[in-house]
Amino acid sequence: MLIVLALCMFRSVQGQEFRCSVTVNSQKLMTTTQQYGSENDKKIFETMKQAIEDFVNGRRWTNMEFQQQEQIECSFSLILNQRSSATDFAGQLTVQMKRPVFNSSYTTGLFNYMEQGSFAFSFNESQPLDFDLNNFYGELSSTIGFYCYVMLGIYFDSFSPGGGDAFYQLAQQVVQAVDASRYSGWDTRSNRNRYWFMENHTNSAYQGLREAYYSYHRLGLDMMTKDQTKARQAILAALQSLREVSQVSPNVLALQQFVDVKIQEIVSIFTPAPPAEQKAVYELIQEISPINVVKLKNFNTK
């Protein structure tokens, strides 16, 4: 029933799923690559930005209908630092997504990830970005499409238990369509790449991660205006679910991403909380993500 209620929200008026903004920063290329410094060359970056926005915002990623105010707010940021030919680029890719909180004007960060290493891809401004779940047309469209499905999975997990199942499976199809031996970021050689985001959300050993999305957002943040005490308890339950995951494997990429994007919000939520709750949060973060515990330095831990 909860899944049905969550999905019914998005069926009333036709609309695309994402409201995505894209930035392409080519400043480093302008100062280091004189070979492609003409005004016509610079225009390709405006075309690249528009092509990615059109690709995300213009494509139907689900069979659901979204009202305009229900569209998922996200962004892709590319900082280009290399151009080896007229159509070949490399740089740093960052992906972000926000989620509205019920009965408030507040939006909470749901996904905020900067890829490790350089993102290399080809872009030809005279060709559209083609994409298919079972075929590889290019590193750019496959990577953007992959993150769209991951974001949809996380988004719907935050509204209902298991709500993101179908989207993680689609992300898995994207991974399987890429020849990981030729393109970096899709295989198991690194523990911080696209493959592991997919694996973290489809591995039953990490079910607590997905339970945390729901407890933290639907039972926690969404209920803050009704009962702050119960909402905080739900957020504590989410952190306890994350601790269970960290006990299975302390270096789960998606778990660390969760804490990184939420830590300042957790500080704000529990700063006015009773000492017992502050101590519980401190101990959980200390176990889950020791690097972030310094941000709880003002909590009462006695």
pLDDT tens digits along 224-259: 999 999 999 999 999 999 999 999 998 899 999 999
Phi-psi region of 14 (alpha: psi -120 to 50; beta: other; left: phi over 0): beta
Provide the pLDDT confidence category of residue 7 given band limits of 50, 70 and 90.
very low
Structure tokens at 170: 């689609």
pLDDT at residue 5 is higher than 70 = no
pLDDT tens sequence across 150-159:
999 999 999 9
Domain boundary among 179, 202, 225: 202
| Amino acid at residue number 137 | Y
pLDDT of residue 11: 41
For the chain, what is the largest distance between any 2 Cα atoms, rounded to a whole number of angstroms? Answer: 63
Position of tokens 């957020």? 235
- In a shared domain, residues 241 and 288: yes
Q: What pLDDT is stored for residue 161 in this prediction?
A: 96
Provide CB contacts within 8 A for 185, sequence distance 6+: 115, 117, 119, 143, 193, 194, 195
The predicted model gives 66-71 an average pLDDT of 85
141 and 20 share one domain: yes
169 & 215 share domain: no
Do 127 and 251 lie in one domain? The reply is: no
**91 and 181 co-located in one domain:** yes
Same domain for 174 and 251, yes or no, is no
Residue 76 has pLDDT above 70, yes or no: yes
Q: Quote the domain boundaries for residue 55.
A: 1-202
Average pLDDT over residues 54-77: 92
The predicted model gives 263-276 an average pLDDT of 97
When pLDDT is cut at 50, 70 and 90, the band that residue 69 belongs to is confident
252 and 286 in a common domain:
yes
Residues 6+ apart with CB under 8 A from 195: 175, 180, 185, 186, 187, 188
Domain end: 202, 218, 234, which one? Answer: 202
Instruction: Give how far the C-alpha of residue 206 lies from the chain's centroid of Cα atoms, to the nearest Å.
Output: 17
Is residue 2 over pLDDT 60? no
Return the structure tokens found at 4. Answer: 């049905």
Count up the domains in the chain and report the number.
2
Would you say residue 32 has pLDDT above 70?
no
CA–CA dist 131, 134 (Å, integer): 9
Average pLDDT of the chain, as a whole number: 90
Give the 3-state secondary structure of residue 42: helix
Helix-helix angle 207-214:139-157, to 10 degrees: 60
Same domain? 54 vs 188: yes
Quote the CA–CA distance of 97 and 148 in Å, as a whole number. Answer: 10
At residue 37 the predicted structure's pLDDT band, cuts being 50, 70 and 90, is low
Residue 16 has a pLDDT of 87
Same domain, 151 and 262: no
Nearest to 165 by CA among 134, 135, 207, 220: 207
Q: Count CB atoms within 10 A of the CB of residue 298.
A: 8
Determine contact, residues 259/243, Cβ cutoff 8 Å: no
Predicted pLDDT at 38: 62
CA 222 to chain CA centroid, nearest Å: 19
Question: Given 181, 202, 223, which residue is the final one in a domain?
Answer: 202
